[in-house]
């Protein structure tokens, strides 16, 4: 599949068959993720691949409980919103593979020469480690599409970030950054509602 085809066919897949993902394909997805650019080639990421159904269930229960505890009104609208949140934050429980992306802040060249801590440097530079994480995830998404899998980039489970970090034994200074589900699509989904070029392009000559 050409790169252009992978980009155009990639879509967020949230429903999967029970067909397992080949282990060599998983390794190749992670290898390609690790080829993404990062500031000063820090490569701040690590990837935890989870296929254990019991662990996925525990994780989904943790996220679901956190959402349920969120303050809300007693209205029907609030109930529907929470129901939507529950689905979009926990559908990973039925995915054949969940890739957990973690980041570890790296020593910055600025920190060596200036009296600025790493958190402030990251803020000034608009969080380059998270930007690099996005690039790595895009490599996974496009590669999964090329291989005939479906994938979805998830941030909703971070509602229970602290609880998930404890469950997965992710210790500071590393932190949980994102999730990606992988599997064979149960239904065919195409991209939709993408803005036309005229709405996203600005050329200054």
Collapsed DSSP state (helix, strand, coil) of residue 181: strand
Q: Can you give the residue ranges of every domain in the chain? A: 3-200
Q: Could you give the angle at the alpha carbon of 119 between the alpha carbons of 115 and 120, nearest 5°? A: 55
Please give the CATH number for the structural domain made up of 3-200: 3.40.109.10
> What is the value of pTM for the model shown?
0.91
Q: Which residues contact 7 (CB under 8 A, 6 or more apart)?
A: 142
Compute the Cα dihedral for 14, 20, 26, 28 and give only its sign: negative
One digit per residue, the tens of pLDDT, for the chain of length 205 reads 799 999 999 999 999 999 999 999 999 999 999 999 998 899 999 999 999 999 999 999 999 999 988 887 778 877 788 888 999 999 999 999 999 999 998 766 666 667 777 778 788 888 899 999 999 999 999 999 999 999 999 999 999 999 999 999 999 999 999 999 999 999 888 777 899 999 999 999 9
| Residue 205 buriedness (CB in 10 A; 0-12 / 13-18 / 19+) | exposed
Distance CA 58, CA 54 (A): 6
């Amino acid at each position: 599949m050409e790169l252009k085809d992978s980009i155009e066919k990639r879509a967020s897949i949230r429903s999967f068959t029970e067909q397992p993902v080949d282990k060599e394909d998983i390794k190749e997805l992670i290898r390609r993720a690790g080829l993404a650019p990062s500031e000063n080639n820090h490569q701040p990421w690590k990837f935890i691949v989870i296929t254990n159904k019991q662990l996925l269930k525990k994780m989904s229960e943790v996220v679901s409980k956190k959402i349920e505890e969120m303050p809300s009104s007693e209205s029907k609208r609030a109930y529907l919103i929470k129901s939507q949140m529950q689905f979009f934050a926990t559908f990973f429980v039925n995915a054949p593979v969940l890739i957990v992306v973690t980041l570890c802040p790296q020593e910055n060249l600025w920190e060596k020469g200036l009296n600025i801590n790493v958190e402030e440097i990251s803020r000034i530079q608009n969080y380059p480690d998270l930007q690099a994480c996005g690039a790595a995830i895009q490599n996974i998404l496009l590669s999964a599409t090329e291989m005939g899998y479906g994938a979805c980039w998830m941030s909703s489970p971070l509602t229970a970030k602290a609880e998930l970090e404890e469950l997965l034994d992710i210790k500071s200074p590393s932190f949980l950054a994102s999730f990606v589900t992988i599997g064979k699509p149960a239904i065919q989904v195409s991209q939709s509602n993408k803005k036309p070029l005229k709405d996203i392009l600005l050329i200054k000559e």
